[in-house]
Amino acid sequence: MTEFSFEITTESRKYPVYVGQNLIERLGEIIGESTERAFVICDNIISDLFLETLIEGLRTSDIQTESRVIQSGESLKSLDSVKVLYEFLSENFAARSDTVIALGGGIVGDITGFVASTYKRGMKLVQVPTTLLAQVDSSVGGKTGINLKEGKNLVGTFYQPHAVVVDVCTLNSLPLSEYIAGLAEVIKYAFTMDPELFEFLIEKKNEILLRNPEVVSIIVEKALRNKARIVENDEREEKGRREVLNFGHTVGHAIEICSNHYVLHGQAVAIGMVEEARMAVRKGLLTESVLELLIYVLLLFGLPTELPDDIDFNQLHRVIKQDKKVSDGQLTIPMLTGIGRTTMVVDKVDNLDITKVGGNKI
Ligand SMILES: NC(=O)c1ccc[n+]([C@@H]2O[C@H](COP(=O)([O-])OP(=O)(O)OC[C@H]3O[C@@H](n4cnc5c(N)ncnc54)[C@H](O)[C@@H]3O)[C@@H](O)[C@H]2O)c1
Ligand SMILES: [Zn+2]
């Protein structure tokens, strides 16, 4: 059985990442020595699937465990839920040296991370991601966040977890659309940073689509190592290195907003990568053949490459221009320059031909 572990070293913390099969039931063994009490937080879908196994495993390792289940959905990332979770911790006399475990997708990971980073000024945090997006992206890197009515992720912290434990078997129950959407982030790593991963994705396409756990372990590990490299060099997104991870996301976020979030994040990023690669071709930074290869790979995995018909293009262009990355009329955006290569481009918004987005033309 293929199993990986490696360490991430950031300025604020050094922590291990484990990737493999059936790790949920062995979590007690994995984190056992470092904690006596654990507080597990998950949503109602996850609790039916994995909570019992996780708790049993922790108890076998003599870790005293309490759990709190919250309703699934983006509305979970709210100040109201934060309060509920603070109360859960205080009612159970949680100490700073106890461990909070985030069991679930990116939503559970983001709010649990926020709560763990602020309760008693920071408890131990273990991320146990169960969606592909969370496994290859949000569980590593230390960004936590909650939403306000004014916008998503407006409140948050940078707080690296104390360990990340990825059990790829959890992906078996994930709806296919969520799984495929997560693959968009893997394809992003391949095109921006990792030509070997690109080759591997094409070679192992069938196994990946069938969620073969051996092969999925490999792609998750490769993806996370790429993310780790970036986070190690730019933990708090201050040095311009971490922005590479935003490839496809400037246009992608705008698509999410203009579709009222019916387009999943990964699907929006897939279309966003194509549109941003087209910008790069228009600027003479990328050859058309790489753009075509990107479209080919996305289609190979069943991801969309074109904007849905019902998107209002004018609204889309407005939202892109309002993006937080635009300041003084300049948009800073990572541009693909080849497979495994990106460069940060700072340019006048108009020069990036935002109004051509959605035109399906170079
Ligand atoms: N912190 C970061 O760096 C970062 C990065 C990217 C995204 N995010 C955040 O992540 C969130 C999206 O995360 P997501 O895409 O994982 O969505 P999610 O957490 O909502 O999970 C999607 C759905 O799948 C269910 N689910 C989770 N695991 C399952 C499994 N194994 N089997 C069956 N169902 C399962 C969940 O209950 C939920 O209903 C957003 O809030 C986004 O802002 C954070
Ligand atoms: Zn993303």
| Nearest ligand by distance to the CA of 166 | 1
pLDDT of residue 70: 94
148-164 residue pLDDT tens: 988 889 999 999 999 99
pLDDT of residue 151: 85
Looking at ligand 1, which atom is closest to the CA of residue 108?
A: 19
Residues of the chain with pLDDT under 50: none
Is the minimum distance from the CB of 110 to ligand 1 under 6 angstroms?
yes
Integer Cα distance of 320 and 326 in angstroms: 9
pLDDT of residue 360: 77
pLDDT of residue 350: 75
Residue nearest to atom 14 of ligand 1 (CA): 106
173-184 residue pLDDT tens: 999 999 999 999
Q: Is the pTM of this model over 0.85?
A: yes
pLDDT of residue 324: 63
Instruction: Compute the distance from residue 129 Cα to the ligand 1 centre, in Å.
Output: 8
Is the minimum distance from the CB of 45 to ligand 1 under 6 angstroms?
yes
pLDDT of residue 121: 97
